[in-house]
Structure 1
Amino acid sequence: MTIPLSILDLAPISAGSTPQQAIRNTIDLARQAEKLGYHRFWVAEHHFVRVASAAPATLIGLIAAATEAIRVGSAAVQLGHHTSISVVEAFGTIDALYPGRLDLGLGRSGQRAEQVRSAGVPPVPAPERPTEVRDGVVLPPPFYPGQLLDFTRVKAALETLHLPGAQPLPYTEQVGEILALLDGTYVTPEGVELHAVPGEGAAVQPWLFGSSGGESAQLAGRSGLPFAANYHVSPGTIVETVEAYRAAFRPSPRFPRPYLVVSADVVVAEDDAAARRLAASYGHWVYSIRSGAGAADYLDPDTAPPLSDQQRRLVDDRVTTQFVGSPATVAERLDALRKLTGADEILVTSVAFDHADRVNSHRLLAREWGLTPQVRAA
């Protein structure tokens, strides 16, 4: 293959395990990824659920300390839950010791969730469209937040994540603040210059993340920034997402042309049947998220009960778009995704009950994709 391959890790907690072990597993996976030749290692941000990636800046610092050269970053910091200065200072602190290795991914989920909470009712989904297979890539009907079964826990979590009375800034405005703080051009509305220490001048690369053709994709394009499109989260909107980014793109000094990363959920094993067995409890995990309860412990596929028809319908778009199989099977499907989207880089995330299976999944894919293993001097 001709484009880089990178990893997004969620620090999942397997049933019977602990958050502490999940964090150790993530750091081990980052070390393995570097040896295998992966280009980047990114971690997500999630709260009040059974994944251990609640504090991405802290986790990124630990990963940077445990590795030598691989780029590390966030996918993504949820801006609705943070002030601009806290984000810049946190990443500036890490960059002070590991300069030039950080990717600052900025996500809009915090603002979108706040809109749902404030409205008090789920948004009305658009009319459902049939599943399409385009050039070998499955494009299911989009999933909308209003399809969540229960908003009670979501609303409670949002209340806890915000200080009383606090309202997040509009996404575009907060991204602008972060870019200005990094560049040293930040001025308050009252005309006061403020400088982030550390943070200003840090060799941190900002990224924007998105799952639709809306604000994030368009802002990334207008700003001349690299963009990550979430096929693994919202497979049904991937085409409109990448088209919106490219249509809005304006060249910047570092990026004269669009730079697009596209994500995918993968499980790779020695053969298709073995991979299907490892992935058998993935639908249960997605259902725990979409039920409104949040990501649960990842179940052992050998003992997880079958999903009901109702549960399966709620997660079908994610299950059918997970890339499961032998190295050749998964690489072929990822290449189809690359061709359809014109991706400059593929970002894979893999969840498995056993950490060794997750490491092996990435190892097998790296070999099939043709990554160059890192050779350390003696």
Structure 2
Amino acid sequence: MTVPLSILDLAPLVAGGTAGDALRRTLDLARHAEQFGYHRYWVAEHHLTPGVASSQPALLLGQIAAVTDHIRLGSGAVQTGFLTPLGVVEQWGLLDALYPGRFDLGLGRSAQRRKSALAAAAPEATSSQAGGAGAKPVGWAAPDETETEARVVDGLLIPKSFSFAPILRSARSALFFKLLHQPDASPLDLDSAIADIETLLAGPYTDGEGNEARAVPGEGADLQIWVLGSSGGESARVAGARGLPFAANYHVSPARVLEAVEAYRSAFRPSATLAEPKVMVSADVVVAEDDETARHLATPYGLWVRSVRTGEGAVPYPSIEQAEAYEWTDEERLLVADRVETQFVGSPDTVAERLETLRRVTGADELLVTTMTPGHADRVRSFELLAKQWYGR
């Protein structure tokens, strides 16, 4: 039986475009996704990023819900370190009150990742790691990087690993986190944040001394909680121990996807939510009528990944002309190689075959695909071609 196919959208800006343009394209794509038969439509949470407009998932999903009828909507993922559990429950409770039973609350731990990176930082880490145009890529050959070699597992490429730790320790990152946090605030660990969210949803929240608090809207909301993770670390273990569904990021951290799903399944304990593990795995794809056209449309992808990997933050998605004119260094090509080599690019047959390999090797119960192209029509067409091929329509 074919597993469901879902979409992850970053509401990307393109070169020369505006945030408004990007958000209107997201609304249009969501309408098309529902028509094409996709199971879920998730939006990412990215802050202070020049090329991504999906900074507030709950706000954006309310707009998407208003222009769609039945497709499930969700976050990939709400960063639990940037909001209190009450703030999360109130936002998503409001969405469920208006559009009942349609929302997936995907949770991540971005803020806690920076805290861990700082704790493990070498004393000599300095602001020179901030990155920027013309700077040496700060993520390359990081001293705390897991030195795994590329390998192929039953047809699936598992590339050499990459570490974001130097970026998380950079002066640029420190500025971003200053803006994202209240002064002296300390983010809860992921397990504690989820525990508080689940308690508030079940309601009431009590302090053991006879006092109680209720989230309205929020208490009783019909939300499906997911945990997203990029490794076999805290996110995978917490998701498994709490019996929650887990989404693993092959498109962000392809080197660690098998580690992530294995850690989740090893930690899994049945819950009222799930009797057995449930895994969704993401992939970056570009589909066109033939392989050559798809490769042409995917030309800017490496340059866009470079902007992320050097600590600049994702830039507006480059045009094909900009990408073809860029002069790469050997070091830069190595910096983005794992992402470029694991992007699934080609005809519907080609991409569907690679997605099936990803599903088989990871044992995924669902796949989550994301697509970047300079032109909106090409992006919509990519999702349409893939859905037709995947579901045999």
Query: What TM-score do the two structures reach when normalised by structure 1?
Result: 0.95
CA distance in 2, matches of 1:44, 1:371: 28
CA distance in 1, matches of 2:109, 2:200: 19
Matched, 1:90 2:91: yes
Within-5 A mapping of 1:301-340 = 301-304=320-323, 305-340=326-361
Q: State which of 150, 155, 161 in structure 1 corresponds to 2:180.
A: 161
Give the letter aligned to residue 337 of structure 1: L
- The equivalent residue for 1:63 is 64
Contact 1:246 1:258 in 2 (8 A): yes
2:320 is paired with a residue of what secondary structure? Answer: coil
CA distance in 2, matches of 1:91, 1:178: 11
Other-structure match for 2:136: none
What residue in structure 1 maps to residue 128 of structure 2? Answer: none
Q: Deviations over 1:115-151 (max 9, x none)?
A: 3356665684245222101111110122112354982
Q: Report the equivalent of 1:13.
A: 13
Whether 1:352 aligns to 2:373 is yes
Q: Secondary structure at the match of 1:130?
A: coil
- The CA distance in 1 between the partners of 2:169 and 2:196, in whole Å, is 34
C-alpha contact (below 8 Å) 1:37/1:371 kept by paired residues: no
Report 1:262-341 matches (<5 A).
262-304=281-323, 305-341=326-362
Q: Give CA-to-partner distance per residue, 1:328-354, whole Å, 9 cap, x none.
A: 000000000000011000000001111
> Which residue of the partner structure matches residue 251 of structure 1?
270
TM-score scaled by length of structure 2: 0.91
Q: Deviations for 1:41-64, whole angstroms, at most 9, x for unmatched residues?
A: 000000111200001110011111
Once the two structures are superposed, residues 148-184 of structure 1 have per-residue CA deviations (whole angstroms, 9 ceiling, x without a partner) of: 4982211110111111111111111111101111111
Match of 1:22 in 2: 22
C-alpha separation in 1, matches of 2:282 and 2:95 = 25
User: How far, CA to CA, are the matches of 2:153 and 2:197 in structure 1?
Assistant: 38
Q: Distance in 2 between matches of 1:196 and 1:148?
A: 36
| Worse-matched range after superposition: 187-196 or 318-327 | 187-196
Q: How does 1:160-309 map to 2 (within 5 A)?
A: 160-188=179-207, 192-304=211-323, 305-309=326-330
Counterpart contact for 1:231–1:264, Cα < 8 Å: yes
Contact 2:45 2:79 in 1 (8 A): yes
Segments of structure 2 that go 5 or more residues without pairing to the other structure are 126-141
Alpha-carbon distance change, 184 to 296 in structure 1, aligned in 2, over 3 angstroms: same
- Over 3 Å counting, the alpha-carbon distance change for 1:175 and 1:89 in structure 2 is same
* Cα separation, 2, equivalents of 1:173 and 1:48: 26
Give the superposition deviation at 1:254. Answer: 3.1
| Separation of aligned partners in 2, 1:254 and 1:108 | 21
- Distance in structure 2 (CA, Å) of the matches to 1:191 and 1:312: 60
> Which residues of 2 match residues 81-160 of structure 1 at below 5 A?
81-117=82-118, 124-146=143-165, 148=167, 151-160=170-179
Letter of the 1:10 partner, please give it. Answer: L
- Superimposed CA distance per residue, residues 181-232 of structure 1 (whole angstroms, 9 cap, x where no aligned partner): 1111422376632111100000011110101111111111111111101111
Task: Give the Cα–Cα distance (whole angstroms) in 2 for the partners of residues 181 and 230 of structure 1.
Answer: 28
1:44 corresponds to: 44
Question: What does residue 135 of structure 2 align with?
Answer: none
User: Equivalents in 2 of 1:166, 1:243: separation in Å?
Assistant: 33
Q: How far off is 1:371 after superposition?
A: 6.2
In 1, Cα distance between equivalents of 2:193 and 2:347: 43
Asked if structure 2 preserves the Cα contact closer than 8 Å seen for 1:7 and 1:347, the reply is yes
Q: Is the 8 A contact 1:124 1:146 kept in 2?
A: no
SS of 1:302's equivalent? helix
Q: Report the Cα distance in structure 2 between the residues aligned to 1:338 and 1:136, rounded to whole angstroms.
A: 11
Matches of 2:294 and 2:239, distance apart in 1:
36
Distance of 2:209 and 2:262 partners within structure 1: 38
> Equivalents in 1 of 2:327, 2:168: separation in Å?
19
* Partner SS for 2:372: coil
| CA deviation map 1:270-305 (0-9, x unaligned) | 111111111111111111011111000110113322
Question: Per-residue CA shift, 1:6-62, capped at 9, x if unaligned?
Answer: 000000000000000000001111000000000000000001112000011100111
What is the alpha-carbon distance in structure 1 between the residues aligned to residue 392 and residue 72 of structure 2? 15
The number of residues matched between the two structures is 372
Indicate if the aligned counterparts of 1:150 and 1:291 stay in contact, CA closer than 8 A.
no
Stretch deviating more after TM superposition (83-92 or 250-259): 250-259
Code of the aligned partner of 1:256: A
Question: 2:158·2:254 contact (CA, 8 Å) conserved in 1?
Answer: yes
Q: Are the structure 2 counterparts of residues 106 and 191 from structure 1 closer, same or farther at C-alpha, using a change threshold of 3 Å?
A: farther
Q: CA RMSD in A?
A: 1.7
Greater CA drift, 336-345 or 190-199: 190-199
The share of aligned pairs that are identical, in percent, is 55
- Between the aligned partners of 1:62 and 1:308, the Cα distance in structure 2 is 42
| Residues 78-128 of structure 1, C-alpha deviations (whole Å, 9 max, x = no match) | 011111101000000010010000000000112112333566656842452
1:76–1:149 distance in 2 versus 1, CA, 3 Å: closer
Gaps of 5+ in 1: 373-378
